[in-house]
């Protein structure tokens, strides 16, 4: 009996030793996770040169604006800062210590390209960007019960992004697809507008509003009730003639289908009677062609390569998703006509539009070009005074507050050393999902206007300082708390500080910061675990953590 107990204890100690060795290895030895190494393939030299040539054309226009305004230009940001921007923008979280060590094991020349390749192969990219687009397509409400599947729609949209499906094809399916909302998830774009207390038909007015804002970045819905009385030439009829393209859509026992006999009537302002409204587009009428259904005609017109508002709309939105700030604000309001030379369009928009159309509406290529620009790579700090003009023109990278999803994603990732992704244990994913939803309820959701400038609130600060999530992620827990591992396994105080900075702020501490925190860690009134917890807590509650910069 004693021998058996002794063997069990020896086995337990051996397992503990293996576990400790693995944790220590994660702290001090650069590791390359096999799944990351296999899926991430950077572009070859010719492809990178082609991307850079487009980015250079974009930067030429930015440079012209900076020169004309006499603005000093911030220096390039360091590599880890750029990686943090990409990670926050495209996956909604900060890089893990594991990812940073893999990145830094690679040669410097291909790191950004490799990081983007890795990101595009990461399901977090599809899910996070799909959520950003979903808000523009169907809003943030739950939608009509039974005939709208928000989660199914989001999963489908994520799948399209993971496949890098051409954006024009994706959009045509959203506007014109038929079928059940479960089997043909794209039709949820249509069923989301059905009022179950009404006639059970999709709402042409709501659909027209979504199309113009989401796919054309034109607020045509502003003339829904009256003509443009602010000097514009848009008429109330322009909006309802566009809405008429959706008159055929109906909900049936086989899902969404088109009834070619349907009509659309509307009583215009100051008219006594309703008018039978034909389907017509408000601009570029020469691009409108025949189609099997009215929705197909509209879909083909919206996505026509010569209909440049379509490309500009997604370029402005993807710039905002990637960087936190659109080229033109609001994100869904871009002038229909103009040029960079005459000032209607910001630097970069038209070169990006040319390339996006020429290369088949490739979203991943668009993101690569954005990241390759000097505008994206600028530092947010400089040795001169940065003014609003510097940030508005991207002479210095504009500092933007993290969206709620980015805050919770960054907290969860910063609390562990390994990467939290689709490869994580199912229990870890379930716990994170529950924490994510609970945090958003308390912190507040930015809604559809998530790129509008919003200030922080006192409840948000109190939630960060005293809320259960940050408290749980900094208390004694060997599995879900990097502070505990640091306290047990970091070889010395400088190593503890460096790893804490890398996991929370994605940078190494300055010498002054090392000296400051080393002095604090020498405090004998606290045990090592409490010291590490306090350090992580302080960094999570710093202004630097809460901003994209």
- What count of other Cβ atoms lies within 10 Å of the Cβ of residue 309? 19
For position 156, what pLDDT does the model report? 97
Give just the sign of the alpha carbon dihedral 141, 123, 187, 214: positive
The per-residue pLDDT for range 28-82, each reduced to its tens digit, is: 333 434 344 444 567 888 999 999 999 999 999 999 999 999 999 999 999 999 9
Token pair in block for residue 310: 């379509």
E runs forming strands in 261-403 = 265-266, 275-276, 400-401
pLDDT exceeds 60 at position 15: no
pLDDT in tens, 66-123: 999 999 999 999 999 999 999 999 999 999 999 999 999 998 878 999 999 999 999 9
Lowest mean pLDDT among 181-190, 253-262, 484-493: 484-493
Q: Which residue has the higher pLDDT, 228 or 539?
A: 539
List Cα–Cα distances, 203 to 134, 369, 409, 510, in angstroms. Answer: 18, 38, 36, 57
> What's the whole-model pTM score?
0.90
Which range in 217-221, 361-365, 515-519, 524-528 is most confidently predicted, on average pLDDT?
361-365
For the residues of 421-432, what is the DSSP string, one character each?
A: STTS-HHHHHHH
Own/partner contacts of 61-70, CB < 8 Å, gap of 24 or more, are 61/340, 61/347, 61/348, 61/350, 61/351, 62/347, 62/348, 62/373, 62/374, 62/375, 62/393, 62/394, 62/395, 64/347, 65/347, 65/393, 66/393, 66/395, 69/389, 69/393, 69/395
Confidence of residue 482 (pLDDT cuts 50, 70, 90): low
Task: Evaluate whether 450 touches 457 at the Cβ level (below 8 Å).
Answer: no
* 3-class state of residue 14 by DSSP: helix
CB 180 within 8 A of CB 254: yes
Written in H, E and C, the secondary structure of 499-526 is HHHHHHHCCCCCHHHHHHHHHHHCCCCC
Record the tokens describing residue 324, joined without a space. 């936190």
Mean pLDDT of the chain: 87
> Could you give the maximum distance between any two Cα atoms of the chain, in Å?
99
Q: Give percent above pLDDT 90 in the chain.
A: 61
How confident is residue 298, by pLDDT bands cut at 50, 70 and 90? very high
Whether a cis peptide bond, with omega within 30° of 0, leads into 330 is yes
For the ranges 259-268, 376-385, 471-480, 481-490, the maximum mean pLDDT occurs at 376-385
Rg of the chain, C-alpha, whole Å:
26
Q: Which of 360, 355, 480 is nearest to 420 (CA)?
A: 480
Q: What are the tens digits of pLDDT across the range 125-147?
A: 999 999 999 999 999 888 888 89
What percent of the chain is modeled with pLDDT above 70? 87
Q: Round to whole Å and give the CA distance between 549 and 540.
A: 15
Estimate to the nearest angstrom the gap between the alpha carbon of 229 and the chain centroid.
36
Q: How confident is the model at residue 11 (pLDDT cuts 50, 70, 90)?
A: very low
Residue with tokens 């487009």: 54
The larger pLDDT score, comparing residue 107 to residue 549, is at: 549
For residue 310, what pLDDT is reported? Answer: 98
pLDDT tens per residue, range 143-174: 888 899 999 999 999 999 999 999 999 999 99
- Residue 547's DSSP bridge partners are 401
Query: In 3D, which of 339, 356, 310, 338 has the Cα closest to residue 218?
Result: 310
| DSSP one-letter code for 266 | E
**β-pair partners for 395:** none
According to DSSP, the β-strands at 249-252 and 255-258 are antiparallel
Interval 217-229 mean pLDDT: 77
36 three-class SS: helix
Question: Do residues 136 and 334 make contact, with C-beta atoms less than 8 angstroms apart?
Answer: no
Of the two residues 448 and 412, the one the predictor is more confident about is 412
Residue 302 in contact with residue 171, Cβ under 8 Å? yes
8 confidence band (pLDDT: 50, 70, 90): low
For residue 359, is pLDDT > 70?
yes
């Amino acid at each position: 009996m004693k021998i058996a107990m002794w063997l069990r204890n020896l086995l337990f100690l051996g397992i503990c030793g293996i576990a400790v060795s693995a944790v220590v290895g994660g702290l001090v030895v650069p590791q390359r996770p096999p799944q990351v190494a296999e899926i991430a393939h950077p572009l070859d030299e010719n492809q990178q040169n082609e991307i850079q040539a487009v980015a250079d054309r974009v930067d030429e226009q930015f440079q012209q604006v900076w020169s004309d305004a006499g603005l000093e230009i911030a220096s390039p940001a360091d590599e880890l800062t750029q990686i943090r921007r990409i990670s926050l923008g495209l996956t909604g979280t900060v890089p893990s210590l594991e990812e940073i060590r893999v990145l830094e094991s690679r040669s410097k020349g291909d790191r950004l390209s490799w990081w983007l390749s890795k990101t595009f192969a990461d399901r977090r990219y599809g899910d996070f960007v799909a959520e950003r687009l979903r808000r523009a397509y169907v809003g943030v409400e739950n939608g009509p019960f039974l005939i709208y599947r928000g989660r199914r729609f989001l999963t489908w949209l994520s799948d399209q992004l993971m496949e890098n499906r051409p954006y024009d094809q994706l959009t045509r399916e959203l506007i014109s697809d038929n079928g059940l909302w479960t089997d043909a998830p794209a039709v949820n774009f249509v069923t989301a507008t059905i009022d179950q207390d009404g006639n059970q038909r999709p709402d042409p007015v709501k659909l027209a509003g979504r199309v113009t804002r989401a796919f054309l970045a034109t607020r045509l819905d502003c003339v829904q009730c009256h003509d443009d009385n602010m000097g514009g030439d848009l008429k109330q009829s322009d909006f309802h003639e566009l809405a008429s393209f959706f008159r055929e859509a109906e909900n049936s026992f086989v899902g969404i289908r088109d009834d070619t006999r349907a009509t659309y009537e509307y009583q215009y302002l100051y008219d006594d009677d309703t008018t039978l409204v034909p389907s017509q587009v408000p601009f570029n009428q020469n691009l409108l062609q025949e189609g099997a259904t009215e929705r197909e005609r509209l879909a083909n017109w919206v996505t026509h390569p010569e209909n440049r508002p379509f490309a500009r709309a997604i370029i402005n939105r993807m710039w905002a998703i990637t960087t936190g700030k659109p080229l033109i604000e609001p994100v869904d309001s871009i002038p229909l006509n103009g040029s960079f030379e005459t000032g209607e369009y910001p630097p970069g928009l038209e070169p990006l539009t040319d390339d996006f159309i020429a290369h088949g509406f490739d979203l991943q290529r668009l993101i690569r070009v954005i990241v390759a620009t000097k505008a994206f790579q600028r530092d947010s700090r400089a040795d001169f005074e940065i003014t609003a003009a510097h940030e508005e023109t991207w002479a210095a990278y504009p500092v933007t507050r993290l969206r709620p999803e980015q805050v919770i994603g960054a907290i969860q990732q910063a609390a562990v050393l390994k990467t939290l992704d689709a490869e994580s244990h199912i229990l870890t994913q379930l716990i994170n999902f529950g924490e994510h939803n609970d945090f958003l309820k308390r912190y507040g959701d930015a809604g559809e206007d998530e790129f509008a400038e919003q200030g922080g609130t006192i409840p948000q600060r109190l939630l960060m300082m005293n809320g259960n999530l940050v408290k749980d992620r900094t208390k004694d827990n060997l599995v879900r708390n990097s502070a505990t591992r640091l306290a047990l396994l970091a070889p010395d105080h400088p190593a503890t500080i460096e790893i804490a900075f890398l996991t929370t702020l994605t940078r190494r501490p300055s010498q002054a910061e090392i000296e400051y925190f080393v002095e604090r860690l020498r405090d004998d009134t606290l045990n090592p675990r409490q010291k590490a917890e306090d350090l992580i807590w302080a960094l999570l509650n710093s202004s630097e953590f809460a901003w994209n910069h």
